[in-house]
Structure 1
Amino acid sequence: MTFSELGLSAALVKAVQELAYKNPYPIQVAAIPATLQGKDVLGIAQTGSGKTAAYVLPLLETLQNKPINKSRSIPILILVPTRELAAQVLEVIQTFNTSIQRKAKSVAVYGGVSINPQMMKLNGTDILVATPGRLLDLLSKNAISLSQLETLVLDEADKVLNLGFKEEVDEILSRLPSKRQNILFSATMEDSVLTLIDKLLENPFKIEIKPEEVTPDLIEQVAYFINIERKGPLLRHLIEMNNWEQVLVFASSKRVADNLTTKLNKHGIQAMAFHGDKSQGGRTEALKQFKAGKLRVLVATDLAGRGIDIKELPIVVNFELPRSPKDYIHRIGRTGRAGATGSAVTIITEEDKHHWKVIQKKMKRWVELIDAEKMDF
């Protein structure tokens, strides 16, 4: 199955191909056609299964033949539990948005930052990605209207409820038009999620993707513990000390990737960033140089990094931990392919310790942790 067989337009298929996506994930094969047909969709899937693109691609498709939105009435709402997920979903939307003719205006809103700059961006929004509390704040100020909402996506529903947002979600649902498409994704099916499904979905198309159990036996893994302020110097030290000549470094955001690339180059280590905000020509050139061994370090985000396929890549570095254990496997799986050995290096800070334990437990492998605070660099 290819993306061109899922009912997407040539422009969106081209956008997918330009990111070097090859074949759709199983959840995308199931969810994209169902969403395009206007069905309610229930997806049971872990983070890292490809679910974000499974709903973003068909939603962008539905906007292609619609007029530009010039109001504060939101046609598509994506409700998420955290600001981190809001930023990630927005990045996915913007990445695919670059190559299509009818651009979708997308905005992410969340708490913890000033509401005024967010309010100023909202007019003409096609897709609003929001956390529940900030969405209710905006509604209370009449900054947006949900009266004409066509599609609601509730992503990571179990986490939304576990974080105590049930009352907020109920309040939001009470403000929506009764006739709309609903899409719900959850990693678990606990009682609170089942109650929400009964309330929200009407005869949904059900998809269940069971998590894969993968143990990367051929990959040599090591982790370094360091103070957060010294992560950059540690990475530079490791590159120079080990004379690494072809290093793929993963960052959690485009901003971190750009900043890290700038600092590496400033210290004489040739590096280029690889993410969705880069032009297609820029991404192609960076990957070409890296594959040819002419670029020492490529700094990538997870979304863009999925398209990187290099035989016998020796080193992968997790400058920041990914959101899920499966994303970690995807990252380090760029090395150790086709029977070849490879190395994966992960940099851990104090705030990463718990998440790092979860990743190792899911991977069923414990990784040596070196105290880099005692290293001289």
Structure 2
Amino acid sequence: MSFESLGLSPALLKNLADEHFTIPTPIQLAAIPAIMNKKDVLAIAKTGSGKTASYVLPLIMNLGHVEPAKNRHINTLILVPTRELAEQIKGVFTSLAKNLTPPIKTLAVYGGSSINPQMIAMQGVNVLIATPGRLIELVESNAVHLSSIQMLVLDEADKMLSLGFKEEVDKIISLLPRKRQNILLSATLNSDLENINQLVLKDPTIIKIEDDELEEAPIDSINQLAYLVSPEKKGPYLRQLIEKQDMQQVLIFASSIFQVDAIVNKLCKNNIKARAIHGKKSQGSRTESLSLFKAGKLRVLVATDLMARGIDINNLPFVINYELPRSPKDYIHRIGRTGRADNIGTAISLITPSELHHFTVIEKKIKKSIPLIDIEREGK
């Protein structure tokens, strides 16, 4: 099926073509018609499935049939766990809603940034994308009113609950009008999510995209390989890889903030332009680093797993796992940053002898054998 078959407007179809959206993903095929029909939706799908567009597109369509937002009375609210995800969703709205009449004003608000500019920018907003804590601050300051909400989205609801936002989410829901459309998206379905589901959703359309559908599809367009390297040689070999393969845009993952900063310091000392993105960086620094990287003006971005949720680049050629993540699912999420939108990508993992067992567990989970090169033998 095509996007044309889903009943989207010609203006939206043009914007989709401009953004190189070609064929709807499984979650888009299932969710777009249900949301356009004003149904409540519970969607279980992993990151990289195309779930953001699966609700942004029908919400844009539905916004054309609702009363324009009154001053500071928004009609669409999207709750998210992180500021990076908030900005990413805002970017999708901006690109897909461009040149539409009437225009749709979208705003992302989150902590870690001054609240005053966000309060001023609230004027005339249709779609508000917010982290729970900052939204409550804005409500308590009378900077935004939730009594006119017609559409509520909880994106990455599982992540919100695991990060301890349950009380804030419950408080926000209690402030909303009872009659509204609700959309809940999550990577997993657990008991906490079931409770939120029962509290929020009414007779929902349930969409579940199986793990195998999601995990195998993106990996097919990624060249995966690994290098066996001793811990003391890992840093020098990383720099050698970047220079030898002339990597001009590479995303590197490390397991801790300390390790991320250490990698960046070493790269910069060796004249490889790199910046860090993690939870202890200011919002301004994180936004600037991500913008430079997306624009191709920064050669290397080094990130922790949580920060990777806002990194969505269609043509990213390289991802490097400086250390293996804890779970195979995190590995899939990491390497899924490359090989997107039908582009071929390369994912490289630097494996120490102590990580070999965990490496084989990942191979079994993704049902693929990843070539492992011993750099000691390679150099002989």
Q: Does 1:219 align with 2:254?
A: no
Contact 2:111 2:131 in 1 (8 A): yes
Kindly state the Cα deviation for residue 331 of structure 1 after the two structures are TM-superposed. 4.4
Q: Describe the superposition over 1:10-57 as per-residue Cα deviations: whole angstroms up to 9, x where unpaired.
A: 111111111111110111111111111111111111122111111111
SS in 2 for 1:116: helix
TM-score by length of 2: 0.68
Match of 1:295 in 2: none
Match of 2:244 in 1: 241
Match of 2:261 in 1: none
- Unaligned 5+ segments in structure 1 are 226-230, 265-300, 309-314, 349-355, 372-377
Match of 2:104 in 1: 104
Contact 1:26 1:209 in 2 (8 A): yes
- Unaligned 5+ segments in structure 2 are 230-234, 253-276, 278-285, 300-309, 352-358, 376-380
Contact 2:319 2:335 in 1 (8 A): no
Q: Describe the superposition over 1:294-352 as per-residue Cα deviations: whole angstroms up to 9, x where unpaired.
A: xxxxxxx96551xx6xxxxxx92137999964454544446998xxx97434799xxxx
Match of 2:165 in 1: 165
SS in 1 for 2:73: coil
Question: Structure 1 residues 177 and 317, CA, compared in 2 at 3 Å: closer, same or farther?
Answer: same
The number of equivalent residue pairs is 307
State percent identity of aligned pairs. 42
Matches within 5 A, 1:1-377: 1-66=1-66, 68-212=68-212, 213-214=215-216, 219-222=223-226, 241-242=244-245, 255-256=288-289, 258-260=291-293, 261-262=296-297, 303=312, 305=314, 316-318=317-319, 325-333=331-339, 343-345=346-348, 363=366
SS in 2 for 1:185: strand
Match of 1:281 in 2: none
Match of 1:282 in 2: none
Residues in 1 aligned to 2:228 and 2:74: alpha-carbon distance in whole angstroms: 45
- Paired AA for residue 292 in structure 2: N
Residues in 2 aligned to 1:335 and 1:40: alpha-carbon distance in whole angstroms: 29
SS in 2 for 1:58: helix
Kindly state the Cα deviation for residue 84 of structure 1 after the two structures are TM-superposed. 2.2
Q: Describe the superposition over 1:55-109 as per-residue Cα deviations: whole angstroms up to 9, x where unpaired.
A: 1111111223556535100100001122222122112212212353433111111
Residues in 1 aligned to 2:360 and 2:65: alpha-carbon distance in whole angstroms: 47
Contact 1:328 1:359 in 2 (8 A): no
Question: Structure 1 residues 27 and 358, CA, compared in 2 at 3 Å: closer, same or farther?
Answer: farther
SS in 2 for 1:39: coil
Kindly state the Cα deviation for residue 179 of structure 1 after the two structures are TM-superposed. 0.6
Contact 1:11 1:100 in 2 (8 A): yes
Residues in 1 aligned to 2:130 and 2:178: alpha-carbon distance in whole angstroms: 20
Residues in 1 aligned to 2:14 and 2:350: alpha-carbon distance in whole angstroms: 35
- Paired AA for residue 170 in structure 1: D
Q: Describe the superposition over 1:146-183 as per-residue Cα deviations: whole angstroms up to 9, x where unpaired.
A: 11110011112222222222221111111111110011
Kindly state the Cα deviation for residue 190 of structure 1 after the two structures are TM-superposed. 1.3
Q: Which moved more, 1:119-128 or 1:247-256?
A: 247-256
Kindly state the Cα deviation for residue 216 of structure 1 after the two structures are TM-superposed. 5.1
Residues in 2 aligned to 1:36 and 1:109: alpha-carbon distance in whole angstroms: 26
SS in 2 for 1:192: helix
Contact 1:28 1:53 in 2 (8 A): yes
TM-score by length of 1: 0.68
Residues in 2 aligned to 1:16 and 1:222: alpha-carbon distance in whole angstroms: 36
Question: Structure 1 residues 217 and 76, CA, compared in 2 at 3 Å: closer, same or farther?
Answer: closer
SS in 1 for 2:297: helix
Q: Describe the superposition over 1:116-165 as per-residue Cα deviations: whole angstroms up to 9, x where unpaired.
A: 11111111111101111111111111100011110011112222222222
Contact 2:339 2:345 in 1 (8 A): no
Question: Structure 1 residues 2 and 302, CA, compared in 2 at 3 Å: closer, same or farther?
Answer: farther
Contact 2:149 2:180 in 1 (8 A): yes
Q: What is the CA RMSD across the aligned residues, in angstroms?
A: 4.0
Residues in 2 aligned to 1:199 and 1:44: alpha-carbon distance in whole angstroms: 17
Match of 2:265 in 1: none
Match of 2:378 in 1: none
Match of 1:286 in 2: none
Residues in 2 aligned to 1:43 and 1:89: alpha-carbon distance in whole angstroms: 17
Residues in 1 aligned to 2:179 and 2:345: alpha-carbon distance in whole angstroms: 52
Match of 1:311 in 2: none
SS in 2 for 1:262: coil
Question: Structure 1 residues 89 and 332, CA, compared in 2 at 3 Å: closer, same or farther?
Answer: closer
Kindly state the Cα deviation for residue 204 of structure 1 after the two structures are TM-superposed. 0.7
Contact 1:109 1:131 in 2 (8 A): yes
Kindly state the Cα deviation for residue 209 of structure 1 after the two structures are TM-superposed. 0.6
Residues in 1 aligned to 2:245 and 2:209: alpha-carbon distance in whole angstroms: 40
Question: Structure 1 residues 64 and 224, CA, compared in 2 at 3 Å: closer, same or farther?
Answer: farther
